[in-house]
Amino acid sequence: MAIQKKVEIKNRKARFQYELLDTYQAGIVLRGTEIKAIREGKASIAESFCEFSNGELYVINMTIEEYSHASHYGHQPKSARKLLLNKRELRKLEKEVKNSGLTIIPTLLYINDQGLAKLRIALAKGKKLYDKRETIKSRESKRDLGRIKKNFNRS
């Protein structure tokens, strides 16, 4: 299997289920063959979230499949992985999560120009059902407007 040049694994549900307030770039502490599996594109952040433990931020429920060419000393697909941020950013995020009840969700897993795996995380507020309906309504109205413009330009 060929290794992809550009790896971008997105959390497509994030913008629909949450209102994203602030974003951060975080490094990830990886073990063994996890980076090779990410370079093959065998990772998922769809169901994952971030949690504080002892003043450090961890991403929970992120799936990195086992590397296909690894020996029997592979890695656990769903283990908690530590995120690397500045102390100032960690303190700010922890304060926001504790005081205002916001959550931290990963939105994008990618490999930067230096070949390091990075995770874009967002401070988010959960949407209510009526907010989700409003999102669907605005998306459909934009789509209909695009169709009307396209048909108008043809004639």
pLDDT tens digits, residue range 69-121? Answer: 766 666 777 888 999 999 999 999 999 898 887 899 999 999 988 889 999 99
What average pLDDT does the segment 146-151 reach?
86
This prediction's pTM: 0.77
3-12, 95-104, 105-114, 139-148: lowest mean pLDDT where?
Answer: 3-12
Q: Is the pLDDT of residue 60 over 90?
A: yes
For residue 123, give Cα distances in angstroms to 17, 20, 24, 131, 147.
Answer: 13, 6, 8, 18, 34
Quote the pLDDT of residue 24: 94
Quote the pLDDT of residue 40: 86
Q: Is the pLDDT of residue 8 over 80?
A: yes
What average pLDDT does the segment 14-19 reach?
85
CB 42 within 8 A of CB 64: yes
Q: Classify 19 as helix, strand or coil.
A: strand
Quote the pLDDT of residue 87: 93
**To the nearest whole number, what is the mean pLDDT of the chain?**
86
Report the relative pairing of strands 18-28 and 8-10 from DSSP bridges. Answer: unpaired
For the chain, domains (ranges, CATH) are 8-127 (2.40.280.10)
How far is residue 107's CA from residue 9's CA, in Å, rounded to a whole number? 8
Write down the H helix ranges in the chain: 14-17, 34-39, 87-100, 129-154
